[in-house]
Amino acid sequence: MNAPSPPPEDFRARAKRALGDRNLKIALDRTTGNARTKRAAAVAAWPAFDRAREAAAAIKDHALQNFPYYLERFERNALASGAKVHWARDAKEACAAVIAICREAQAKTVTRSKSMLGEEIGLPHALAEAGLRRVETDLAEHIIQLAGETPSHIIWPAAHRTREDVAKLFAKHHRDHLLLTEIEAMVASARQELRDDFFAAEVGISGANFLVAETGAICTITNEGNAELTTTPPRVHIVTAGIEKIVATTEHALQLTRVLVRSATGADLTQYTTFHCGPKREGDRDGPEEFHIVLVDHGRTQMLEEMPEMLRCVRCGACLNHCVVYTKIGGHAYGGAYPGPMGAALTPVFDGLMETRDLPHACTMNGLCKQVCPVDIPLPTLLRDWRAKSFRRGFEPRALKLALALWAFVASKPALYRAALAVALPLMRRLGNNGWIAKLPFAPGWTNTRDFPSPAKRSFLAQVRSGEKKVGSGEKK
Ligand code: SF4
């Protein structure tokens, strides 16, 4: 008889394991540190960034407020350009549509350029189940395909891997088995490895950064040129795109690109910004004979009702790079397709709040994610809303509910609150040593891995009352 499989790890277990992984820390520090420096320099070099950010949020809101109009307009124009448009209500329908097109094309090999929507709907798994050979063509996706992993960052899927790891992977899996040390040599090795597949694939699958309603074109922005090689040589090009990618005009797509790219990589523009509009026309030297666009809902119309701001997300990854939680535990600990603050807000929509309620709790509410978001998504507010929903729906543990009820009771009665403080504060001060408490008896979760600050000698209220502290200034007299 087979031994029962161990229960799946939850977020806490995954996060704990990640915190003990030194290699992961090195990889994350390199990638996110670099990203933060480059973004800061790009924003400093463009004084109009804040205005562009406001405009970007307004562009997305305009498209979302007129969602049906622009989606229908996009479909009409895409059909007129010769594309075939497929609507998918959920992940299952989206994967089924892609597989049906691949079967119709009698495909054996499909190339794929990076698409987080593909991860969200489980497309890699669906392609494998359908017996199709999938070749990931983005360099980082190529790395994680060799490693048998999933992406850990929405811009740099292999952010959890150091270059030393990658050298070993390439030495093991690439045909020439060389242990390379220079990044340029590793890139050349991957290019050589992938080159034949670009031309052998019958179908190329891409995502879309924008769906342009006025033309019916889809826009991809990449740095490696692999999206162009994925979408141009094969006979069939399939685009999978979330319906929130809709924008009214090409001008709007370009305006969004300017804040998206600066927020993602710190560059002014990506190396490749391509508008794909319909299949190859008579006289064209290259391009696909068939051009399919699979428009995926998968919870987005529900989000339009419940958290419309999240549909502004342009998947730049800035909130991940600046998150004090993501930068310590990496993406895999989150357990869904999307990690970091945006993942903590999105994953409950896709996987259910009950199963993912730890994610919104894994936030310090420092607000940096909102500050760097190029479309001003109030991520801390959205995460707080999830926490409140989880509490109202009864998903929180009994002990937490009791503790919060007790807190609310005490905090709403000033005399009782002061009396409780009069007992608790001296006790806590006695536990402290040099201003820090090493172990709190009733809250070990706080002090297992870090110290807790001892309370000040006199409470804030007492200092204000005596005039020692002024409210609002924080300064002493
Ligand atoms: S939430 Fe904002 S910062 Fe985070 S990925 Fe989306 S657009 Fe970028």
For a mutational test of ligand 1's pocket, the pick from 316, 363, 368, i.e. the residue with the most ligand atoms closer than 8 A to its C-beta, is 316
> Dihedral sign, CA of 167, 172, 174, 180?
positive
Nearest to 308 by CA among 60, 115, 118: 60
For a mutational test of ligand 1's pocket, the pick from 342, 382, 383, i.e. the residue with the most ligand atoms closer than 8 A to its C-beta, is 342
Q: What is the CATH number of domain 48-302?
A: 3.40.50.10420
Query: Quick one: DSSP state of residue 456?
Result: P
Q: Residue type for 9, please?
A: E
| CA–CA gap between residue 250 and residue 229 (Å, rounded) | 23
Closest atom of ligand 1 to 264 CA is: 8
Strands 84-88 and 290-296, sheet pairing: parallel
Strands 452-453 and 436-437, sheet pairing: antiparallel
Beta-bridged to residue 436, according to DSSP, are: 433, 453
Whose Cα sits closest to atom 3 in ligand 1? Answer: 373
Whose Cα sits closest to atom 8 in ligand 1? Answer: 316
CA dihedral 200, 205, 208, 214 (to 10 degrees): 90
CA of 260 to the centre of ligand 1 (A): 9
CA of 121 to the centre of ligand 1 (A): 19
CA of 315 to the centre of ligand 1 (A): 5
Whose Cα sits closest to atom 2 in ligand 1? Answer: 373
Ligand 1 site, CB within 6 A = 263, 313-319, 342, 372-375, 377
Residues 52-70 as b or e (16 or more Cβ within 10 Å = b): bbebbbebbbebbeebeeb
Closest atom of ligand 1 to 318 CA is: 3
| CA–CA gap between residue 418 and residue 276 (Å, rounded) | 66
| CA–CA gap between residue 342 and residue 197 (Å, rounded) | 34
Contact 334, 359 (CB under 8 A): yes
CA of 115 to the centre of ligand 1 (A): 15
Closest atom of ligand 1 to 154 CA is: 5
Strands 290-296 and 236-242, sheet pairing: parallel
Q: Where are the domains of the chain?
A: 48-302, 413-468
| CA–CA gap between residue 439 and residue 451 (Å, rounded) | 7
| CA–CA gap between residue 334 and residue 323 (Å, rounded) | 13
To the question of pTM greater than 0.85 for the whole model, the response is: yes
Per-residue pLDDT of the chain (477 residues), as tens digits, is 445 555 568 999 999 999 999 999 999 999 999 999 999 999 999 999 999 999 999 999 999 999 999 999 999 999 999 999 999 999 999 999 999 999 999 999 999 999 999 999 999 999 999 999 999 999 999 999 999 999 999 999 999 999 999 999 999 999 988 898 899 999 999 999 999 999 999 999 999 999 999 999 999 999 988 999 999 999 999 999 999 999 999 999 999 999 999 999 999 988 999 999 999 999 999 999 999 999 999 999 999 999 999 999 999 999 999 999 999 999 999 999 999 999 999 999 999 999 999 999 999 999 999 999 999 999 999 999 999 999 999 999 998 889 889 999 999 999 999 899 889 888 898 888 888 999 887 777 778 878 889 998 887 878 888 888 777 654 443
Closest atom of ligand 1 to 310 CA is: 1
Cβ partners under 8 Å of residue 167, min gap 6:
179, 180, 181, 186
